[in-house]
Amino acid sequence: MAKARVAVLISGAGTNMAALLYAAKAENCPYELIFVGSNDPGAAGLEIARAEGIATWAHSHKGMARGAFDTLVDDQLHAAGAEFVALAGYMRILSDDFVERWAGRMINIHPSLLPRYKGLDTHQRAIDAGDSFGGCSVHIVTPGVDDGPVLAQTPVAIVPGDTAATLARRVQFAEHQLYPATLAAFVMRDRSPAYLCGRVRELAMALPDANETISHGMPCFGIAKGKKFAYFTEDHHGDGRTALLVKISGADEQAALIELDEARYFRPAYFGDGWIGIRLDLGDTDWDAIGEWLRKSWLAVAPKKLSGLMGAAEDL
Ligand code: GAR
C-alpha cells in the first residue's frame, strides 16, 4: 500500500517534526513526510527537514490577515500533494476555513492531558494545580484551540521539586514516542477496510428502508425485501482493492467514468455494465460524493412508492 503523504507545520525547534521524520524512515511506517512548512523562516526545525531532503517552505505571517496567510499555506499543502497535516508546535491560531478544508485529516500535539490546560504554560499550570501527572495529547484539529477528539495521551508523573522546565523535558520524551505512533495509527485507520466499511454503512443505512446483508462474503446494502444498491468489496477475487460498487445507468456511463479517472473507477468483475467500482483506499475519498453515489444508486432500485418519498423530502 502506498504510504500516506503527510505535511508537518512547525513554528520552532521542530523536535516533534524530527520524531515524525525519523519514525518515517522505518520501512513499515505507513506514512512519509513530504513537506515541512513554517510561519517563521527562522524556525530551527526547517534545517533538520532540509538536511533530510524534505521539501520545506517558510513565510512570515507578520502583516498578513489570518485567512490570507492560511490560504497561502493551504496552497502549499495542495501543491505538495499532502493527504494529512500534522501540527507540531505550530503556534498559530487557524482560521475556521482552513480547519474545515482539512477536517478529519489534521492532527495536533499538545503538552498537557487534554481537556486540561489548553493554550500556553501547560506544565506550570499542572504543577501549580498540584496534579500528580502532566503529559501530552494528540488530537484531531477542530475549530477551537487545542480542542477536538483526543486520539491518544501519555501521562508523565510530576516529581517533587519539578519545575516547568524539568517536567517539559520529560514530557518531550513522551511526545516523541506518542506522536509518530498516533499518526501511524491515524493514517492506517483512514485506509483500513473496517473503518471504510463503517463509513459506507453509515451513509447507506441512512437511506430509507435500507438493510444490510452479506452476499458472496461482501457486506451489501439493499432495500428491505427489494433490490441491492451497494456492495462493499475488500480484495474481491484477490484484486487488492477496497471499493464500493454502486448502480449506474449503463455501459456508456461506466466507460466515461473509467476514462475520467482510471485510478479510481473500475468495471467490477461479474457485475456487468450496470455497476461501477469506486476505490475507497486511495487516501483522498470524497465522502460527500460517496453519499451522493449511494443516493443515486438507491434511487435506481427503489420502488416508486419509496423514491417518491425521497423526491418529496428533497422538495421541502
Ligand atoms: C511541543 O511541546 C508541542 O506539544 C507544543 O509545542 C512544542 C513544540 O516543540 N505545542 C503546543 O503547545 C500546541 N498548543 P517542538 O517544536 O520541539 O516540536
Closest residue to atom 7 of ligand 1, CA basis: 89
3 state DSSP class of 43: coil
Q: Looking at the structure, tell me whether residues 56 and 98 fall in a common domain.
A: yes
If you measure from the C-alpha of residue 100 to the centroid of ligand 1, how many angstroms do you get, rounded to a whole number? Answer: 22
C-beta contacts of 196-204 below 8 A and 24+ residues apart: 196/232, 196/242, 196/280, 196/281, 196/285, 197/232, 197/234, 199/287, 199/290, 200/230, 200/232, 200/244, 200/280, 200/290, 200/294, 201/232, 203/287, 203/290, 203/291, 203/294, 204/229, 204/230, 204/294, 204/298
Range of the structural domain that residue 177 is part of: 4-191
Q: Is the pLDDT of residue 1 over 70?
A: no
Task: Report how far apart, in Å, the C-alpha atoms of 88 and of each of 61, 108, 244, 281 are.
Answer: 17, 6, 35, 26
- Tell how far the Cα of 99 is from the centroid of ligand 1, in angstroms: 19
C-alpha cell belonging to residue 303: 420502488
Confidence bin at 314 (pLDDT 50/70/90): low
pTM confidence score? 0.79
| Residue with CA closest to ligand 1 atom 6 | 89
Among the options 110, 123, 139, 176, which is catalytic? 110
Which one of 191, 214, 244 terminates a domain? 191
> Quick one: 180 and 198 in the same domain?
no
Encode pLDDT of 43-73 as tens digits: 999 999 999 999 999 999 999 999 999 999 9
Instruction: Please tell me the total count of domains within the chain.
Output: 2
Final residue in a domain of this structure, among 138, 172, 191: 191
Atom 2 of ligand 1, residue of closest alpha carbon: 111
Say yes or no: 94 and 113 in one domain: yes
In this structure, the number of other CB atoms found within 10 A of the CB of residue 23 comes to 18
Protein residue with its CA nearest to atom 12 in ligand 1 = 110
The candidate with the shortest Cα–Cα distance to 31, out of 18, 40, 47, 20, is 20
CA of 113 to the centre of ligand 1 (A): 13
> Which of 159, 175, 191 is the last residue before a domain boundary?
191
Ligand 1 neighbours (beta carbon < 6 A): 10, 12-16, 45, 88-89, 109-111, 136, 146, 175
Let me know whether 212 and 143 are in one domain.
no
Answer yes or no: are the C-beta atoms of 278 and 243 closer than 8 Å. Answer: yes
The count of other CB atoms within 10 Å of the CB of residue 145 is: 13
Is 78 a catalytic site residue? no
Does the pLDDT value for residue 218 go beyond 90?
Answer: yes
Grid cell 482493492 in the structure block, residue: 241
Alpha-helix runs per DSSP H in 80-209: 96-101, 122-128, 164-191, 193-205
- Pair 162, 56 in one domain: yes
Atom of ligand 1 nearest to the CA of 12: 16
Name the residue with higher pLDDT: 315 or 271: 271
- Chain segment 134-162, per-residue pLDDT in tens: 999 999 999 988 999 999 999 999 999 99
Which CATH number characterizes residue 17's domain? 3.40.50.170
Residues 110 and 216 in one domain: no
Cell numbers linked to 253: 456511463
Which of 202, 203, 221 is CA-nearest to residue 211? 221
Q: Is 97's pLDDT higher than 50?
A: yes
Does residue 182 have a pLDDT over 90?
yes
When pLDDT is averaged across residues 179-188 and rounded to a whole number, the result is 96
Do residue 172 and residue 197 come from a single domain?
Answer: no
Lowest mean pLDDT among 207-216, 222-231, 255-264, 298-307: 298-307
- pLDDT of 316 reads 47
Does 148 lie in the same domain as 17? yes
Q: Nine-digit cell at 112?
A: 498537557
Residues 23, 52: Cα–Cα separation, whole Å: 13
In the chain, how many H helices and how many E strands?
A: 10, 13
| Same-domain pairing of 22 and 122 | yes
- CA of 161 from ligand 1 middle (Å) equals 23
64/91 same-domain check: yes
Q: What is the mean pLDDT of the chain?
A: 94
In this structure, the dihedral spanned by the alpha carbons of residues 227, 231, 237 and 242, taken in order and rounded to 10 degrees, is: 170
Position of cell 467514468?
257
% residues pLDDT > 70 (the chain): 97
Average pLDDT over residues 256-280: 95
